[in-house]
């Protein structure tokens, strides 16, 4: 049967106007033997890159167009050639800036102009007169010169999903078997068919071969790069300890590869960017990914990791045999990322730098909710169903893995329909956003290469990250890392309070105190090490040197996690390490007989089989990607090379089997070393400058739970953490260099920065607040409202003037006093007449610790001062009990609960506190009778025994005596 392609199609990227995914669209066309296919999304061309990819895959001719709003209606524009494609890019960009488009801006020399079949241009005669390449379709109109339908779905089974996303009961579309093509029939004249074929034949957008579009950093970039490396190598003191011939050979090799791959501009741009950031006090990470394997990158200051010291390979990063572009990802303190992007725009041109788009998509739960509304399913019922979806699981994954979800869906016909409808709209794009990291640079305006939009006054590509390189552009990932912002804060605290010359980047990676801290697992707040599993692991490994930490971080992943016991066993007893051959054994000796790193695999291949590092990396990648044909071919090459190196075939086979076994999980050592450097240096800060460390964590952490844990750990280590006080006011956390850290007023929930600044200004101008009446008078003068005063009292911020109940009881008296000694001027400013006027007598009220504790939890997140146990306590407290000695201490029972363990057994625990710390105490079945006796929100004496099991503390409670 003869078919004609419809010249209009809206895909999923016509947000909420079509449910059709581009992959499905092109596969549908292939199934029905269409030779050409059109994409015309509404007002954007986000789908072009994906459309091009699938059309090339299925050998279908792609026709690029847009369905776009003009002043009097929608027109479909199809690109005849590359110039037409550029015009479409221009119009979609203008549309993103909310510009009104008129037909006067439009020329049809390089475009076909087609009136939209449903929402077309009102004055059609204008279009007929203006454009020779104008086409339109109107039913029963003999003048129509094209056949066209408003096309958004593949078949009628998608009609319901179209209704759902439009949130309509009726959609103005004819329902047919499909809309992508039409079988030629008597209603379609030969003239219409001829015009359609003419348009398809004449639409020929041809994309040029890839070329390097990076900005030219300077006139002779390679010469400049070479000179920069030669000049800076003298400043790298740690390189001088290596044989100069080895260094010279490595540098020359890396430079030769950089030149062959024509990426010298890339290195210069990154080097300039990193060094500009550092000179502007912006923290940059020590390295990320495989770039740490480059000695040139280290010399230029791009990374802080010397690859010679850690046996890292340049070929893992850049390999001319692999022919892939370099990928240098930069970690930046997350509050400074915008400054770096602005620097790039100013240096290379506002139109030559763009961020990369990303799409927020309909998740499984949202799909269910949208379809539930459409099917009129009860709201509370929908909540019950969506709660069955766990984490980021898709609908299909939930249906296949979650028995309860599956049985619920299968239980009713309406729920089965709900599931089927939800599958149709799941993962559809909801809206476009800006990628958190990706930035592209070009020597020409970005729009010359790739379509762009204006998003919140940012130039943003219309294609997502995975398609950027296909369109002649190289991306740079500038990743905002919160850890670097926290580290910058810690570094500033150390410089301010201890050593003005202190630099985080210069911290030694060989420090005995740091090793002891890591082994003790007191790693709360330290990058990568905070999880319970990691704490247990580093405690068992026992960190004796920096490389132990690198190994542990690399092994603590789902794949190689099972190798940790063997690693620890071999570390403690090297005689247990299996011996295979001297070449192999020497390489794995540094990691206790376990292959951990991709670089080790490359070294084994190179030393055992004599292959180049470049070929070794290709083999490693083939194994990790499970390319069976390549693996079999390379196996022959490897064993042949090993035999040539006088290694027996059986030993070579054994080594190859080891490579295959570990390659799938092998970690990038270049990345591991760089990130372990951050962790180790943070541990150094924690053990040497603990108050600076805690100050950084608390002040820049938004999680109340994390803040509470940090405060409790600091207290356990005998540091004082003082909750906010008006006479210890500042804009930030401060400490006394020894044992006490003072939290700022901004830490109080509901207070806010404005109120803090008013009180701070009053404090700085007129000095310390003398008493409660003095504070209230001056607070009113500073325009502090009564509700803020209530918060200050109830958060115990004014505790130095009296207990909470006393201050609440005297508040009205203090406000009256403030009013009596002041007046408002003509600008309603509060003017104080006499702060030395006689004050009313403070009426003392008995302290209510329960009330204070409740309010501190409300405003501060936890109890800092109002410990209900304090009047019963002795010197023995939770945080100073010795192991193996039984004590009788007083504890407050905060919570009591039964929980189901992963082994499907019931466990019992109570959350307790005294003035020293909080703890969770677990009970086994034997002591469950104690658990049953204990009541929530009570105080009592417990007889308690502290135990230590492999460095982790446990408490055993044998008696309970309630006090109140």
Q: Where are the alpha helices (DSSP H) in 610-744?
A: 613-624, 628-644, 649-663, 669-688, 690-699, 704-716
**CATH, range 870-962:** 2.40.50.140
User: What are phi and psi for residue 177, nearest 5 degrees?
Assistant: -65, -40
Whether the Cβ atoms of residue 489 and residue 696 lie closer than 8 Å to each other: yes
Distance CA 505, CA 274 (A): 14
Query: How do 353-361 and 458-464 pair as beta strands?
Result: parallel
Asked if residues 758 and 734 have their Cβ atoms less than 8 Å apart, the reply is no
- Residue 621's pLDDT band, with cuts at 50, 70 and 90, is confident
Q: What is the pLDDT of residue 737?
A: 66
Q: Of the candidates 117, 124, 113, which has an alpha carbon nearest to the alpha carbon of residue 138?
A: 117
**pLDDT at 499 (0 to 100):** 74
Burial 519-551 (b: 16+ CB within 10 A, else e): bebbbbbbbbbeeeebbebbbbbbbeebbbbbb
Mean pLDDT of 294-305: 96
**How far is the C-alpha of 17 from the C-alpha of 172, rounded, in Å?**
11
- The pLDDT assigned to 902 comes to 62
Over residues 901-927, the pLDDT tens digits come to 666 678 888 988 888 888 888 887 778
pLDDT, residue 624, reads 73
CA dist 768 and 725 (Å) reads 11
Alpha-carbon 269 to chain mean position: 25
The CA distance from 635 to 653, in Å, is 8
Question: Do the beta carbons of residue 178 and residue 223 sit within 8 Å?
Answer: no
pLDDT score for 587:
95
Decide: 11 and 22 in contact? Cβ < 8 Å.
Answer: yes
Contact at 8 Å (CB) between 680 and 837? no
Express as a percent the part of the chain with pLDDT over 90. Answer: 61
**Per-residue pLDDT reduced to its tens digit, 136-157:** 988 778 888 998 888 888 887 7
Q: How confident is the model at residue 179 (pLDDT cuts 50, 70, 90)?
A: low
pTM of the model: 0.86
* 263/267 Cα distance (integer angstroms): 7
Arithmetic mean of pLDDT, 32-46: 95
- Tell me which residue of 154, 487, 458 sits closest to 334, measured CA to CA: 487
169: pLDDT strictly greater than 60: no
Mean pLDDT throughout 740-767?
91
- Return the pLDDT at 186: 67
Averaged confidence pLDDT in the chain: 90
- Of 166-175, 232-241, 417-426, where does mean pLDDT reach its minimum? 166-175
User: Which SS3 state, helix, strand or coil, does residue 811 take?
Assistant: helix
Q: What is the pLDDT of residue 498?
A: 83
Residues 6+ apart with CB under 8 A from 768: 727
pLDDT of residue 342: 96
Q: What's residue 715's pLDDT?
A: 85
pLDDT for 178 beyond 80: no
pLDDT of residue 943: 93
Distance CA 686, CA 514 (A): 8
- The mean pLDDT of 100-113, rounded to a whole number, is 94
Look at 183 and 109; give whichever has higher pLDDT.
109
CA 777 to chain centre: 47
**Mean pLDDT, range 585-611, rounded to an integer:** 93
pLDDT given at position 904:
63
The position carrying tokens 């799409």 is 359
The pLDDT assigned to 171 comes to 52
The predicted-structure confidence for 336-391, as pLDDT tens digits, reads as follows: 999 999 999 999 999 999 999 999 999 999 999 999 988 999 989 999 999 999 88
Q: Which two tokens stand for residue 410?
A: 């299968």
pLDDT at 175: 47
Section 779-796 average pLDDT? 94
For 896-928, letters b (16+ CB in 10 Å) and e give beeeeeeeeeeebbbebbbbbbbbebebeeeee
Average pLDDT over residues 104-126: 92
Name the strands in the sheet holding 429-441, side by side, starting at the edge strand that comes first in the sequence. Answer: 329-333, 474-481, 429-441, 353-361, 458-464, 452-455
The SS3 of residue 36 is strand
Query: Is residue 935's pLDDT more than 60?
Result: yes
**Whole-number percent of the chain with pLDDT over 70:** 96
Asked if the 363-427 domain carries CATH number 2.40.50, the reply is: no
Q: Is the pLDDT of residue 170 over 70?
A: no
pLDDT digits (tens, 9 = 90+) for 457-485: 999 999 999 898 888 787 899 999 999 99
Highest average pLDDT, of 327-336, 745-754, 793-802, 873-882, comes from 793-802
**Helix or strand run (H / E) with residue 75:** strand 73-79
Structure tokens at 857: 């939890």
Using the Cα atoms of residue 577, residue 582, residue 587 and residue 589 in order, give the sign of their dihedral: positive
Question: Across-strand partners of 64?
Answer: 39
pLDDT of residue 405: 92
Query: pLDDT tens across 792-822, in order?
Result: 999 999 999 999 999 999 999 999 998 888 8
The DSSP code for 579 is P
| pLDDT score, position 903 | 61
Measured CA to CA in angstroms, residue 867 lies from 517, 709, 718, 857, 912 at distances of 30, 17, 17, 11, 12
**Distance between first and last Cα of the chain:** 89
H helices of 131-263, where? 159-166, 190-202, 221-233, 244-260
Q: So what CATH class is 3-202?
A: alpha beta
Instruction: Specify whether the CB–CB gap between 355 and 434 falls below 8 A.
Output: yes
pLDDT tens digits, 485-531 = 999 999 999 998 887 788 999 999 999 999 999 999 889 999 999 99
Instruction: Give the list of residues 6+ apart from residue 125 with CB closer than 8 angstroms, or none.
Output: none
> DSSP 3-state assignment of 857?
helix
Per-domain boundaries in the chain: 3-202, 221-358+434-483, 363-427, 719-860, 870-962
pLDDT in tens, 628-683: 777 777 788 899 999 999 999 999 999 998 888 887 788 999 999 999 999 999 99
Eight-class DSSP state of 756 = H
Q: Is the pLDDT of residue 185 over 90?
A: no
């Amino acid at each position: 049967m003869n078919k004609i392609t419809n010249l209009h199609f809206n895909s999923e990227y016509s947000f909420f106007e079509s449910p059709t995914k581009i992959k499905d669209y092109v596969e549908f066309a292939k199934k029905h033997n269409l030779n050409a296919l059109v994409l015309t999304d509404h007002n954007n061309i986000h789908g072009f890159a994906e459309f091009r990819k699938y059309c090339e895959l299925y050998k279908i001719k792609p026709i690029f167009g847009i369905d776009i709003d003009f002043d009097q209606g929608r027109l479909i524009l199809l690109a005849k050639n590359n110039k037409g494609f550029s015009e479409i890019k221009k119009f979609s960009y203008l549309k993103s800036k909310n510009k009104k488009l008129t037909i006067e801006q439009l020329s049809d020399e390089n475009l076909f102009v087609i009136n939209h079949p449903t929402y077309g241009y009102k004055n059609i005669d204008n279009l007929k007169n203006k454009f020779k390449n104008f086409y339109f379709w109107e039913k029963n109109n003999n003048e129509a010169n094209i056949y066209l339908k408003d096309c958004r779905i593949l078949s009628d089974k998608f009609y319901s999903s179209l209704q759902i996303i439009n949130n309509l009961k009726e959609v103005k579309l004819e329902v047919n078997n499909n809309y992508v093509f039409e079988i030629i029939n008597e209603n379609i004249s030969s003239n219409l068919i001829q015009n359609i074929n003419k348009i398809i034949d004449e639409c020929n957008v041809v994309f040029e071969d890839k070329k390097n579009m990076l900005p030219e950093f300077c006139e002779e970039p390679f010469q400049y790069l070479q000179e920069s490396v030669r000049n800076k190598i003298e400043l790298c003191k740690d390189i001088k300890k290596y044989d100069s011939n080895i260094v010279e050979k490595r540098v020359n090799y890396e430079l030769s590869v950089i030149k062959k791959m024509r990426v010298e501009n890339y290195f210069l741009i990154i080097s300039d960017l990193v060094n500009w950031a550092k000179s502007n006090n912006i923290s940059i990470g020590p390295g990320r990914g495989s770039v740490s394997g480059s000695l040139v990158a280290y010399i230029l200051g791009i990374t802080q990791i010397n690859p010679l010291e850690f046996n890292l390979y340049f070929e893992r990063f850049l390999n001319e045999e692999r022919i892939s572009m370099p990928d240098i990802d930069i970690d930046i303190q997350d509050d400074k990322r915008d400054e770096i992007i602005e620097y790039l725009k100013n240096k290379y041109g506002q139109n030559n730098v763009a961020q990369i788009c990303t799409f927020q998509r309909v998740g499984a739960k949202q799909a269910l909710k949208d379809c539930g509304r459409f099917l009129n399913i009860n709201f509370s019922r929908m909540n019950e169903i969506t709660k069955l979806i766990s984490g980021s699981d898709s609908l299909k994954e939930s249906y296949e893995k979650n028995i309860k979800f599956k049985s619920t869906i299968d239980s009713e016909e309406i729920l089965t329909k709900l599931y089927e409808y939800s599958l149709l709209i799941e993962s559809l794009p909801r809206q476009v956003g800006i990628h958190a990291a990706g930035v592209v640079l070009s020597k020409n305006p970005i729009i010359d290469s790739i379509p762009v939009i204006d998003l919140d006054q940012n130039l943003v590509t219309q294609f997502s990250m995975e398609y950027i390189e296909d369109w002649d552009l190289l991306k740079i990932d500038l990743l905002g890392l919160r850890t670097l912002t926290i580290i910058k804060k810690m570094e500033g605290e150390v410089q301010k309070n201890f050593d003005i010359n202190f630099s985080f980047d210069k911290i030694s990676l060989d420090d005995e105190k740091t090793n002891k801290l890591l082994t003790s697992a007191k790693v709360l707040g330290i990058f990568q090490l905070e999880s319970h599993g990691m704490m247990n692991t580093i405690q068992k490994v026992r960190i004796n040197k920096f490389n132990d930490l690198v190994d542990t971080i690399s092994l603590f992943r789902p794949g190689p996690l099972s190798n940790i016991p063997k690693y620890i066993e071999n570390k403690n007893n090297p005689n247990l390490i299996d011996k295979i051959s001297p070449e192999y054994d020497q390489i794995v000796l540094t990691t206790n007989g376990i292959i951990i790193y991709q670089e080790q695999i490359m070294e084994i291949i190179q030393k055992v089989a004599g292959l180049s590092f470049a070929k070794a990396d290709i083999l490693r990648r083939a194994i990790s990607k499970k390319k069976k044909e390549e693996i079999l071919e390379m196996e022959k090459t490897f064993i042949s090379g090993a035999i040539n190196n006088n290694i027996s075939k059986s030993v070579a086979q054994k080594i190859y089997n080891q490579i295959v076994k570990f390659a799938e999980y092998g970690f990038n050592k270049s990345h591991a070393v760089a990130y372990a450097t951050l962790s180790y240096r943070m541990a150094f800060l924690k053990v040497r400058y603990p108050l600076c460390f805690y100050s950084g964590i608390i002040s820049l952490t938004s999680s109340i739970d994390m803040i509470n844990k940090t405060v409790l750990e600091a207290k356990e280590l005998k540091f004082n953490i003082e909750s906010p006080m008006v006479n210890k006011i500042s804009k930030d956390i401060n400490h006394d260099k020894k044992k006490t850290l003072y939290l700022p007023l901004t830490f109080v929930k509901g207070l806010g920065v404005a109120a803090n600044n008013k009180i701070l200004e009053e404090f700085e101008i007129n000095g310390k607040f003398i008493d409660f009446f003095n504070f209230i008078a001056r607070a009113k003068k500073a325009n502090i409202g009564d509700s803020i005063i209530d918060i200050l009292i109830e958060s115990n911020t004014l505790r130095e003037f009296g207990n909470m109940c006393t201050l609440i009881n005297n508040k009205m008296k203090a406000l009256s006093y403030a009013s009596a000694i002041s007046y408002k001027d003509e600008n309603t400013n509060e003017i104080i007449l006499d702060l030395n006027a006689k004050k009313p007598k403070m009426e003392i009220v008995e302290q209510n610790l329960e009330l204070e504790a409740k309010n501190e939890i409300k405003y501060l997140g936890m109890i800092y001062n109002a410990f209900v146990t304090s009047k019963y306590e002795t010197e023995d407290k939770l945080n100073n009990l010795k192991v193996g000695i039984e004590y009788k201490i007083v504890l407050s029972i905060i919570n009591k609960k039964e929980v189901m363990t992963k082994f499907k057994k019931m466990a019992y625990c109570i959350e307790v506190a005294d003035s020293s710390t909080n703890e969770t105490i677990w009970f086994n079945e034997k002591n469950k009778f104690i658990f049953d006796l204990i009541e929530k929100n009570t105080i009592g004496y417990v007889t308690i025994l502290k135990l230590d099991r492999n460095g982790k503390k446990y408490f055993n409670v044998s008696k309970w005596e309630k006090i109140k």
